[in-house]
Amino acid sequence: MATPNFNLNYTVISTCDSDNWDGGIGAVEPDIKKQGTNSLAVAVRDDGSGGISGTWDMSATDTHLRLWVQYTFPATLDLKANGGIQLWVSDGTNTNYYYVGGSDTHNGSWELMQCDLASPDVDGSATLSAITSAGWEIVNATAARNVVNMFWDYFVFGTGYEIYGGTSGDKITWADLATADRTNGYGMVQEVNGVYFINGELKLGDSISTNDCYFDGDSELAVFYSANESTTLYKIEGTGNSTGTTDISIQGTVIKSAANRFVFDMNGANLTTFIFDASKLDNAGLCYFKASQTITNSVFTNCLQIDPSTSTFQKNTISNYIGTEGGALLWADSSNTKDLIILNCDNGIEFTTTSTPKTFDNIIFDDEVGNFDVNDTSGSAVTVNLTNGSNANSYNTGGSVVTFASSVLLSMTVTDESGTEISGALAYIDDNNSTPFIMNTTTDALGVASATWTGGAVTGATWRIRKYGFKPYKATSNISTINKDIPVTLIADPQQT
């Protein structure tokens, strides 16, 4: 079991381990807490509030305020929309209020209350770069019993964190991450009944120093959930540094969002190794990969555009894309992208480069009415060779023209009567002389002659092999839209010595 280390992208306002809040509000509570040695607690009968003074710059992009709250009489709270539980910040003159919970959302257990500081519910025009106090407020719709009922702990502001650590033999897992997160009260990755809930921007790798990061995110379910954060914090990113090793493996795992789309970015320059196999991304935003990575046997459903670069992107299924990027998959002119199924995508594959022809190798589309297999936004017409059963046949007429040419591999494997390969045999395929030769070559050291054909189906094609010392071979065999190999056995000719 590996112990993760953290680069925290936020600032601690109060650990709530001591009673240092303004006016001495709150008694220390050693037993009911989220982290450290204590929480703070107070009785709130009608309405109540607490605050702590200091000097903080909270103006950075995507900065969020976070506080663990447990209000044990949730039924007495006003609704969230009416500000039942609020966080606030003040510059000494103006105060912003943020509605983070209420009787319709809070169940009385510990909950991480958070807000996007750039989006107050009551905008008092507080200057976020010069905050002098921050805190919480409870608004009850009905009076609560006059006992200690409000507990709070670990008050911070920021975005998320980076993780690093582990070794090649003992990698950090989701369970390790959730355990360390719970101990420290961060609230970024929480495990509930075997599901890992992500709240904020999660970075894998140490971008600050030179430490290694080994992460094994296999065979789990991870879910982004809505907790008042801005959409830009829905993100998993592989980072790392130029000195250490950053090794990430995600296999047999589902990562999805129950709220906003999340960016899945594994294109970091310092990401050493990334494997994504037999896994699923559901409701993701943009997905980025890079060369030398392996993305195989996986499913991408209801995601925005996938950029595989020149990674090994094979045996994957892409479905239910409706986006504005131009296509479910950004084509990288790489032979490493093949063996794909693309279903129910309004635009399947986007071309942004003008190189032609492009080759689809076993890329299957569902031919859904109203959808386009290809969208060429490069500005130039391209030809697509269709090989190994690829069936693309439509393109978005809002872009440039795409011509689809079925491309098949035709070959003959030539041996003598003893089974020994024959090299140097002349190999021909023609269409009764009505077209140029479909094949005109010689067999290699393994006795194989091959050629790629993009001319479509041919009925009655003639296949011929000639080699001095053997009787000529001639056969008629049709050419379709799938690869074809004909075994040929040449018979020795005693008249040719």
Q: Give 369: exposed, middle or buried? Use CB within 10 Å, 0-12, 13-18, 19+.
A: exposed
Q: Which long-range contacts (CB under 8 A, 24 or more apart) does 259-262 make?
A: 259/224, 259/225, 259/226, 259/234, 260/224, 260/226, 260/231, 260/234, 261/231, 261/234, 261/285, 261/303, 261/304, 262/198, 262/224, 262/234, 262/235, 262/236
Domain-wise residue ranges, the chain: 10-156, 159-406, 408-489
The whole-number pLDDT of residue 433 equals: 59
Q: Could you identify the residue written with the tokens 């790629």?
A: 452
Q: For 274-284, b where at least 16 C-beta lie within 10 A, e where not — what string?
A: bbbbebbbbbb
Give pLDDT tens digits for 269-299. 999 999 999 999 999 999 999 999 999 999 9
**Which residues pair with residue 150 across a beta bridge?**
42, 71
The whole-number pLDDT of residue 406 equals: 77
Give pLDDT tens digits for 32-91. 999 999 999 999 999 999 999 999 999 999 999 999 999 999 999 999 999 999 999 999
Query: Which residue in 364, 347, 405 sits closest to 381, CA to CA?
Result: 405
The whole-number pLDDT of residue 434 equals: 63
Give pLDDT tens digits for 365-381. 998 889 999 999 999 99
Residue bearing the bigger pLDDT, 244 or 453: 244
Q: How far is CA 360 from CA 175, 404, 457, in A?
A: 40, 10, 18
Q: How far is CA 228 from CA 115, 233, 371, 449, in A?
A: 5, 10, 35, 64
Other C-beta atoms within 10 Å of 96: how many?
26
Least confident range from 252-266, 374-388, 428-442, 457-471: namely 428-442
> Does 408-489 match 10-156 at the fold level?
no
User: How many angstroms separate the most distant Cα atoms in the chain?
Assistant: 115
Give pLDDT tens digits for 14-34. 999 999 999 999 999 999 999
Cα 381 to Cα 126: distance, rounded to the nearest angstrom:
55
Q: Could you identify the residue written with the tokens 């003639």?
A: 462
Specify the pairing of strand 254-257 against strand 462-466: unpaired
Give pLDDT tens digits for 164-188. 999 999 999 999 999 999 999 999 9
442 Cβ neighbours under 8 A, 6+ residues apart: 423, 424, 425, 426, 427, 449
CATH superfamily ID and name for 10-156 = Galactose-binding domain-like (2.60.120.260)
Confidence category of residue 429, pLDDT binned at 50, 70, 90: very high
The whole-number pLDDT of residue 1 equals: 83
Length of the chain: 497
Mean pLDDT over each residue of the chain, to the nearest integer: 95
Q: Could you identify the residue written with the tokens 């069936």?
A: 391
The whole-number pLDDT of residue 53 equals: 98
Cα 449 to Cα 490: distance, rounded to the nearest angstrom:
14
Q: Could you identify the residue written with the tokens 């690829």?
A: 390
* The pair of three-digit structure tokens given for residue 250, joined into one six-digit string: 């995600």
pTM of the model: 0.84
Has residue 120 got a pLDDT over 70? yes
Has residue 435 got a pLDDT over 70? no
Top CATH class of 408-489 equals mainly beta
The whole-number pLDDT of residue 497 equals: 67
Has residue 432 got a pLDDT over 80? no
